[in-house]
Structure 1
Amino acid sequence: MLLTILGCSGSLPGPHGPASGYLVEADGCRLAIELGSGVLAALQSRHDAFSLDALLFSHLHPDHCADFTTLAVIRRYHTHPPHDTRKHRLPVHGPAETADRFARAYAETADELVTTDLSDVFEFHTLADEAVTRIGPFEITSVRVDHPTESYGFRIATKTATLAYTGDTGPCEALRGLARDVDVLLSEATWTHSDDRPAGKHLSGVQAGQVAAEAGVGRLLLTHIAPWTDRDAVLAEARSRFNGPVDVVNQGDTYAVDETEVRVIGGHGN
């Protein structure tokens, strides 16, 4: 399994890279998770935008899905697509309102709000708590997490590797099961720890490290750190709770994940 960080800035694109976006690959299958602001450009710098086999959204806040409408433009109006996008629709998995919300974002006028339908080039699927979806070599379990809107974490498994992604969430019991014994936990850590942080929104470095320790993960990757948050402080917090390897991810980092080791094979690393 290969994990590539297309974007990792929390809550909005930062001065050095896009908002949330990740690419997971195995056996020739490409799965994109999130498509936040700037992520489509990062994807195209590596792969043809038509090369995706499926797209997952943990939730529908703009920093996780804003570039979807531009992907719709590519799939509808590219003059030389490699295949017929209306015969080969891209599977999109997201919360209950995904198809409607994206259609409304794409609509050009108020009159089109009720007539726009993107199912000509996309095949929409609704996520559910503890539901299992199979896409190519991937077995994906979606788990409802604690965020102000309908939001999911994902546990992604192949025959040789397991990856858990928290999505956006506050501390919750669901995270322990989601991350139990995975090779890699890709965890949001939006801010440093403080007792007066609002509940049910995000994790601190302390909380991400604690989840990793309690779940017995192999390696912790910290992402979704807000541009105004001290990355080194978040990293130190996580290391104070988790004794295993911990990285703060950077755009362009690629990790090779299997059941025996996790290697940085491209990008900055930590």
Structure 2
Amino acid sequence: MRLTVLGCAGSFPGPESACSAYLLEAQGFRLLLDFGSGSLSALQRYAGLDAVDAILLTHLHCDHMSDACDYVVVRRYDPQGPLPKLPVYAPLGAAERIAAAYSTEAEPVDDVYNFFRLEPGTFPIGPFTVTVDRVNHPIETYGVRIEQGGHVLAYSADTAPCDALLRLAQGADIFLCEASYLDGVDNPPDIHLTGGEAGEAATKADVGRLLLTHLVSAWGSEASTVDNACAAFAGPVEVVRPGSRYDL
């Protein structure tokens, strides 16, 4: 598997990054994990406009799905003709949410996307074995575990601490984990993780490598987030950047 970071900014695009979007490739198949604000630009830079075989949207907040609306134009109006319908795995209501954002008349997008409702469980997407479970966020949100070729990538999506996150990350080679909040301050409950909490989850799940993402650069401190993650997890810790690639 190869993971390419298209966007990793938390909650809204930052000066150097689009919002959450991660391209996972194996055996010529490309799975896009989330499709947040601004990430369609990065898709063209690091892969290509039509370089997607399936999309998985962990939840329906704009910073994780809004460019799926812009992508309707790409696939519907390609000069060579409409591109094939694309499978989209997403929480209930994704079709209506994308249609409403795309057009004030909520024009259906079922000519572009074939929607599959996410529910806790395990299923195949191309060469990947995908497991999802509900995590701790204000709306229906799924953390993700992806296995292929004997390797495992776990992705937290957006979540506060929860048991489901630990189950999904157990023994993962790479744990791509959000770290939106600062440690030591009075954060709102049941929304996001701090760097320290991400490190604690990585330790409890016995992962190989912790990749921090979804930092809100305008409001946080990357150095503090990394320090607190490293204090809680003895393994390798890194903050991801747009264009970063990791091979499993």
1:171 aligns with 2:161: yes
Which residue in the other structure is 1:155 paired with? 145
Cα deviation, residue 132, structure 1:
1.4
> In structure 1, what residue type is equivalent to 2:56?
L
Provide the rounded CA distance (Å) in 2 between the counterparts of 1:48 and 1:250. Answer: 19
Mean Cα deviation higher: 194-203 or 57-66: 194-203
Which residue in the other structure is 2:100 paired with? 104
Provide the rounded CA distance (Å) in 2 between the counterparts of 1:47 and 1:217. Answer: 28
Q: How many residues align?
A: 247
Provide the rounded CA distance (Å) in 2 between the counterparts of 1:46 and 1:62. Answer: 22
User: Per the alignment, in what secondary structure is the counterpart of residue 221 of structure 1?
Assistant: strand
Which residue in the other structure is 2:69 paired with? 69
Which residue in the other structure is 2:134 paired with? 144
Provide the rounded CA distance (Å) in 2 between the counterparts of 1:202 and 1:63. Answer: 14
Provide the rounded CA distance (Å) in 1 between the counterparts of 2:167 and 2:53. Answer: 27
User: Per the alignment, in what secondary structure is the counterpart of residue 5 of structure 1?
Assistant: strand
Provide the rounded CA distance (Å) in 2 between the counterparts of 1:4 and 1:47. Answer: 9
Which residue in the other structure is 1:132 paired with? 122
User: Per the alignment, in what secondary structure is the counterpart of residue 50 of structure 1?
Assistant: coil
Cα deviation, residue 214, structure 1:
0.4
> In structure 1, what residue type is equivalent to 2:68?
F
Cα deviation, residue 66, structure 1:
1.3
Provide the rounded CA distance (Å) in 1 between the counterparts of 2:129 and 2:158. Answer: 21
Which residue in the other structure is 2:44 paired with? 44
Gaps of 5+ in 2: none
Cα deviation, residue 79, structure 1:
0.8
1:117 aligns with 2:108: yes
User: Sequence identity, in percent?
Assistant: 44
1:202 aligns with 2:192: yes
Provide the rounded CA distance (Å) in 2 between the counterparts of 1:208 and 1:56. Answer: 22
Gaps of 5+ in 1: 258-270
> Deviations along 1:72-92, whole A, 9 cap, x unmatched?
0111112125xx52xx31000
Which residue in the other structure is 1:220 paired with? 210
Provide the rounded CA distance (Å) in 2 between the counterparts of 1:24 and 1:80. Answer: 26
> Deviations along 1:150-179, whole A, 9 cap, x unmatched?
000000000221000000000111111010
Provide the rounded CA distance (Å) in 2 between the counterparts of 1:75 and 1:42. Answer: 17
Which residue in the other structure is 2:241 paired with? 250
TM-score relative to the length of structure 2: 0.97
Cα deviation, residue 198, structure 1:
1.1
Are the counterparts in 1 of residues 6 and 46 from structure 2 also a CA contact under 8 Å? no
> In structure 2, what residue type is equivalent to 1:197?
N
User: Per the alignment, in what secondary structure is the counterpart of residue 118 of structure 1?
Assistant: coil
> In structure 2, what residue type is equivalent to 1:152?
Y
Cα deviation, residue 180, structure 1:
0.3
Cα deviation, residue 3, structure 1:
0.6
Are the counterparts in 1 of residues 46 and 243 from structure 2 also a CA contact under 8 Å? no
> In structure 1, what residue type is equivalent to 2:201?
V
Cα deviation, residue 192, structure 1:
1.3
Are the counterparts in 1 of residues 4 and 23 from structure 2 also a CA contact under 8 Å? yes
Change (3 A) 1:195 1:16: closer
Provide the rounded CA distance (Å) in 2 between the counterparts of 1:181 and 1:249. Answer: 20
Q: Alpha carbon RMSD of aligned pairs, Å?
A: 1.1
Query: Runs of 4+ in structure 1 displaced over 6 angstroms?
Result: none
Provide the rounded CA distance (Å) in 1 between the counterparts of 2:35 and 2:114. Answer: 16
User: Per the alignment, in what secondary structure is the counterpart of residue 200 of structure 1?
Assistant: coil
> In structure 2, what residue type is equivalent to 1:239?
C
> Deviations along 1:192-211, whole A, 9 cap, x unmatched?
11352111100000000000
Provide the rounded CA distance (Å) in 2 between the counterparts of 1:97 and 1:136. Answer: 23
Cα deviation, residue 135, structure 1:
1.3
